[in-house]
Amino acid sequence: MDKAQILRALIAGLCFGIWPLMMNKGGLNGNLASFVFATIAMLCIAPFAYSSLGELGNARWVVVISAGILGAIGLLFFTSMLTKSSPTNVSSLFVTMVVIQTAIPIIYQLVVTGGMTVTKGVGFGFAVLAAILLSL
């Protein structure tokens, strides 16, 4: 991996870690929080996406629409969880969600490569342990 990709991952993680905690304090219900978040995100992303509109013809629309629906369902449940959580338990719920979210690419890698390395297995185990310890 090159340094630019690692930097992008770090910035994404930082932003994905902060925005939900801010939304928790935003005072909106879950559905409205999802709508406002998605609208603001769309407005911010639109100028960057504009130059790539020509790629729409190459899209696998069933996959793209399915991903959008799954993302919308996840966002609705996530913001509902955020807005109904107290500041004292939002972090534990957030960590639980991240552990589940992390498990999906691990399972995907198992399916694609046919096996898991010891390092990845230990790392996943520690992530589960962290989620348990943070929820106590």
Burial of 64 (0-12, 13-18, 19+ CB in 10 A): exposed
Q: What's the CA gap between 112 and 95, in Å, rounded? A: 26
Encode the chain (136 residues) as per-residue pLDDT tens digits: 689 999 998 999 899 989 988 998 899 998 999 999 999 999 999 999 999 999 999 999 999 999 999 999 999 999 999 888 888 888 778 878 888 887 888 788 878 887 778 887 888 788 778 777 877 7
pLDDT at 56: 92
24 token code pair? 């928790």
Q: What is the residue-wise DSSP string for 70-97?
A: HHHHHHHHHHHHHHHS-TTTHHHHHHHH
pLDDT at 123: 80
* Tens-digit pLDDT profile for residues 66-79: 999 999 999 999 99
CA nearest neighbour of 86 among 94, 77, 74 = 94
The 3 state secondary structure assigned to 17-29 is HHHHHHHHCCCCC
pLDDT at 129: 85
pLDDT at 93: 84
